[in-house]
Chains A and B, each alone.
Chain A
């Protein structure tokens, strides 16, 4: 990696003002560093300055009360995976967190870093390949090797969003607090992520001078069941080939509301309105759950090597629905 200077953060004001000195890539934030260090070592990013966020006080807490959950951006993945309230009432999130990487990475990787992590696309991570996402002319995945790429929402950049926490949090209706030079703002986590058609270079709406500080999750409704199903080639560490975060408000076998968000199949966490519609108000059985899966992928546009993801995603959705009904 190239040389950089390292500044310990002391306040959000200091951080945003340092960030405001340049655009993307000059001054960068580091939390656990589990994603960023890989980029630095491969020279995918060559910042001049790193701001260490871990010295910011009070940003790593998790509180759970009647209003819901509040998780600081510096909370570790492991803290989230082990939190008793999250395990009981926001199961999908605990399961998603437990599925991330390895114990070592979960111990240092943070929530903020997880949401803001960059793509794993093997062309992107190769310093010498200047693909569309990095300002080049083509997305190499289109004609190249696309086994791990997007089947939904791809055009013109076919990365998949690598985060496991994001689909779970979006399915739970989470919001995100962001602080910039002008102060703080809150938006739904779903709106935070963007598709490449909007901006091929970034995966979310964060501005170069902003920082993610907190995620809030509304109180779970009674009779809610939730699951995170993650298909991968290897037990650990491995990113999702496809994953489903499902949150189901159930009345017996009938699904009152369903929230289905997919990971590993699109450049952003992918809410499947089609699957939700197929399940809402329905008595869940084999054919209903299968229809939900099929509806979710009806617009899928696989590349050369990833048609299997269509079947996989479909199957994971019906599996999650069947689990909700059992």
Chain B
């Protein structure tokens, strides 16, 4: 049975190891797609709709085409078609400089017939609202209904009930590197694309299909990537437009989205509203749950969330609809649906516990079947000092009040098949590991080096890792669903083991020992029954002559596991005069199985917590009902956490088994719920709407006073 071995036997796996690309990144040497420049390259720009809903009556590109330096203008929408949100693509331009391209798109004249729009859920759901999707009466999808047990009987059994509405705002991904590509045709049949993507092979296949090329004639390269969070899986309209412009002009084209477009069209986390009525028994069992909810993923569907979340309720009815608004489409965003669900459920849990007069942690223990989380509750409570919380919420003295809260989450992250990899050992002792995955900032490049180095008794810096390139034809899946490491690691491990085995076969005769007796040391190979027979790595590989060893691997289920439970505890301080909420400390206990690199695992947890904190306290898309426009499509009024917002984060790698589980997404799930509960514990007033900004805090405090 394949295994990662015992922790005590590991030299590198499970240790804290610096990223291989760390130095390049901090010195600016690392080249992102944004940094790629090709000889004779043109710059692409896209003209986008400034209105939320209109029919295109005409597009006149003649003035743009006549502008000196403009090399091509292509339409991206047909006359007579509808524009259904601000930011939708109308035409694209390629020009000698980015400035000329920018000027050129302003010279394209668009004749529009404006249509009535709805950009907020309230407006979309209102009686008599203009219908913006032909297939959705009242701008709502068919309800998704789930029933279990006997709801009425459940409520009859309930000793306490809570009825409340919880809601969260639309959040955008805010990838620091915006979406985009540099595209270059070598000839009519061969295309090279530098893409800021989470899925090198997906993008390759998409381009190949679009241009009807054999897949191996499209090469996609993603050396370094500046954040995707679920929003960067395909080439998108902008990628195809860049390729088209490049094809027409015969020149390389760089087309990166602006920050504004990034907010408008490059995806978002849908909003969520839950109207819940729930009950619990006197002894603290969740017994009935009735939820009607909705969310918007813009003009598209996909505004799903789980309800109830994590905790089991035997009797329930839930009804959920997607609401269409004239705004850019949602895309998967770090644990899609989960942080919203967790916020609502964990808020509800605290409200029920309070009605029962029960410690909220105790109440969770009773209703949580997940054993991992049960253990995490104990550890997290200890780390945050759970006993310090206000037993009567809001009872702290002074203007600035502190509180402590808890939230929970669950994710899969078990990986899957579909990765091919190759580990090569050369006669000069060098080792290469190649696979078509991509390092989107999570550190998989280093993870691969660690696994190979461990297997071969080398150091991570001895391994040349090549990822983010479809050229070698070794496919791997997109980096989504926290699947990268659990998908890639087993294949690398088995490939490295196979290569090692081949090396042993080749040198066994020289060492006059059976193959099974050979072992790797640190930079050495020795015979386990006769340690005098020890040779250096180079001596061993020197035997290979002209014949390198090159082995593939396979995905071994035994090396990974699905299911990552998480719990977070937050301590906050609320200034009751200004409404400002400051996170003081967050303890994140994250189940993750074997952490191949403990350092980057902790980084993932830190990053997740920060993103969750942004959703909890700051981030909100503002859509203007009248103009139909997003008013904060920038980083001034769309506020993401900065260094001053970041609290002490205690990231606890909760590794209960030695199989690999992905951990990219789950750490952002419990944060909003934990923070919201901490705010309640601090001030004794519950804020049921994210983000918890000063206006909401002050309004809630004023309502309580009144």
Contact = CB atoms under 8 A, between A and B. Distances in A.
Nearest to A122: B631
A236 B580 CA distance: 14
A319 B624 CA distance: 34
A306 interface: yes
B642 A308 contact: no
A36 B577 CA distance: 34
Given A122-B632, A140-B626, A145-B624, A235 B645 contact: yes
Interface in A131-146: 140, 143-145
Contacts of A140: 624, 626-627
Nearest to B697: A308
Nearest to A242: B578
Contacts of A143: 626
Given A122-B632, A140-B626, A144-B626, A241 B694 contact: yes
Contact of A234 (B103, B642, B696): B642
Interface string B159-191: 000000000000000000000000000000000
Interface in B145-164: none
B510 interface: no
B636 interface: yes
Q: What is the interface of chain A mostly: helix, strand, loop, or mixed?
A: loop
Interface residues of B, number: 32
Contacts of A144: 624-627
A319 B632 CA distance: 31
A311 B698 contact: yes
A306 B579 CA distance: 13
A147 B695 CA distance: 8
A172 interface: no
A123 interface: yes
Interface string B684-706: 00000000011110110110000
A316 B631 contact: no
Interface string A79-118: 0000000000000000000000000000000000000000
Contacts of A301: none
B644 A233 contact: no
Contacts of A147: 622, 695
| Of A145, A233, A237, A312, most B-chain CB atoms within 10 Å | A233
Contact of B694 (A307, A308, A318): A308
Given A236-B644, A308-B694, A316 B578 contact: yes
A250 interface: no
Interface in B521-535: none
Given A128-B50, A315-B578, A308 B631 contact: no
A113 to B, nearest CB: 17
Contacts of B622: 122, 145, 147
A123 B631 contact: yes
B578 A306 contact: no
A18 B595 CA distance: 66
Interface in A48-86: none
Contact of A319 (B577, B618, B629): B577
- Give the residue among B50, B578, B636, B696 with the most A Cβ atoms within 10 A: B578
Which of the four size classes fits the interface of chain A?
A: 20 to 34
A319 B695 CA distance: 18
B580 A231 contact: yes
B70 to A, nearest CB: 16
Interface in A235-264: 235-238, 241
Given A308-B579, A315-B577, A316-B577, A234 B618 contact: yes
A123 B695 CA distance: 20
B637 interface: yes
A318 B578 CA distance: 12
Interface in A292-308: 305-308
A120 interface: yes
B695 A306 contact: yes
B554 interface: no
Contacts of B631: 122-123, 126, 145
B639 interface: yes
Interface in B24-76: 50
A128 B693 CA distance: 28
B645 A234 contact: yes
Contacts of B629: 126, 128-129
B702 A311 contact: yes
A233 B50 contact: no
Interface string B628-640: 0101100011010
A243 to B, nearest CB: 11
26 contacts: A122-B637, A126-B629, A128-B627, A129-B629, A144-B624, A231-B694, A233-B694, A234-B639, A234-B642, A235-B642, A235-B643, A236-B644, A241-B694, A241-B695, A307-B699, A308-B694, A308-B696, A308-B699, A308-B702, A309-B695, A311-B698, A311-B702, A312-B694, A312-B698, A316-B577, A319-B577
Given A143-B626, A231-B580, 18 more contacts: A122-B622, A122-B631, A122-B637, A126-B627, A129-B627, A140-B624, A144-B625, A144-B626, A145-B624, A233-B580, A233-B693, A234-B618, A234-B641, A234-B645, A308-B699, A311-B698, A311-B702, A318-B577
Interface of B: 50, 103, 399, 577-580, 618, 622, 624-627, 629, 631-632, 636-637, 639, 641-645, 693-696, 698-699, 701-702
